[in-house]
Amino acid sequence: MARERHDYDDIPGTFVFDAERSRQGYGINMFCMSLMKDENRKAFKANEAEYLKKFKLTPEQTDAILKRDYNRMLELGGNIYFTAKLGATDGHSFQHLAALMTGSTQQDYAAMMLGGGRSIEGNRSRSGKNAPSKHLRAGGAKKSASAKHTVKPKSKTRSAKRK
């Protein structure tokens, strides 16, 4: 059955783990959670394709797992925290998996995140319907009446009392 389309499906690179995706990805997620047990990790590594037959997976889900196509696993209903268990089985950190999913190196991904994250330019929508918020202006957020409020520095007297 085809997945129902939602407004949030229009955001590039985003697969919202909603109830529908949860149902769709039940097999992927149960497989990934099985990797919490050492004996299951060993059985999976011994014969991946055979081990996957224990779970109700579609051919697309099986293919995504075998290819370690994490974005496709998410699209097919995988929960990011569960799919990270597969990555950990392969010896990858969560940051390394995130880098793989964005198509960058781990160093580039770390630099992007330390620099404030991914730019919103070109990442608002697939269809072009999502325009920038009218509350934003070039160079930053629109100032509101509450933005005029300034925080006063703490009194030296209060600080001295705490010591």
Asked if residue 12 lies in contact with residue 126, where contact means CB atoms within 8 angstroms, the answer is yes
pLDDT at 115: 77
The DSSP string of 94-135 is: HHHHHHHHHTS-HHHHHHHHHTTSS-STT-S-SSS--PPPTT
pLDDT for residue 16 is more than 90: no
pLDDT for residue 123 is more than 70: no
- Rounded to an integer, the average pLDDT of 137-150 is 45
pLDDT at 10: 61
Read off the amino acid at residue 161.
Answer: K
State the pLDDT confidence band at 125, using cuts at 50, 70 and 90.
Answer: low
pLDDT for residue 17 is more than 80: no
Residues in the chain: 163
Read off the amino acid at residue 96.
Answer: H
Higher-confidence residue of 5 and 88: namely 88
Instruction: Name the most confidently modeled range: 26-40, 88-102, 133-147.
Output: 26-40
